[in-house]
A and B are shown apart, each in its own frame.
Chain A
């Protein structure tokens, strides 16, 4: 199975900050990497698919990059509604696996 490791596990930031979350795969997954946002008590929401493609309806302050084993989710200017937990997920091979999550909290 491909292991997905996110860092950091949590972070505190202020509105307007630039935030970067990293995801590392245990083997190369090419560009088969998705990012999700989850708010408490809600279902996850797809933000980025295939490493760098913004899902329809997602604000442009979200962006993704990377290939192979190292990937990044960037929020260019954090908004209050962005405080949530973020997960990466590989779609390279079954079993599809998720990172452990990164909780973005208000400083």
Chain B
């Protein structure tokens, strides 16, 4: 069965960095685009970034552009989110999500359990 397991969250001071990881299993990781979606405490869902199956195409929300970098290692079935210059408003649960089928874009059929990032001094 499909599993997505995020890690790397924690408490970090404003301006510092953090790297999130998402290890995938149960499907052909290298065939699917992958995504990060976040949810601030008590708030709704916000798309953060997406990467194509081969890493050749990457997109991110304006709110994180220039600060967050998305990458993947298909040999390790792992997705990464490097978060730099963190701000208080980046505080959220970060979910990685799988694209539903290899030929589509923007449809999140499986989600990890989430990892909490708290940016606070």
Contact = CB atoms under 8 A, between A and B. Distances in A.
A50 B108 CA distance: 11
A68 interface: no
Contacts of B46: 98
Interface in B40-93: 44-47, 50, 59, 61-62
A71 interface: no
Contacts, number: 58
B62 A100 contact: no
Nearest to A45: B111
A84 interface: no
Interface residues of A, number: 24
Contacts of A94: 50, 59, 106
A46 B97 CA distance: 11
A49 B45 CA distance: 17
A83 interface: no
A16 interface: no
A98 B44 contact: yes
B107 A91 contact: yes
B45 A89 contact: yes
Interface string A34-77: 10101000011110011000010000000000000000000000
Given A34-B107, A43-B114, 16 more contacts: A32-B106, A43-B113, A44-B37, A44-B111, A45-B111, A46-B109, A49-B107, A87-B45, A89-B106, A91-B104, A94-B106, A95-B62, A96-B35, A98-B45, A98-B47, A99-B44
24 contacts: A32-B106, A36-B45, A43-B95, A43-B111, A43-B112, A44-B111, A46-B100, A46-B107, A49-B100, A50-B107, A89-B45, A89-B108, A90-B106, A91-B106, A91-B107, A94-B50, A94-B106, A95-B61, A95-B62, A96-B50, A97-B47, A98-B44, A98-B45, A101-B44
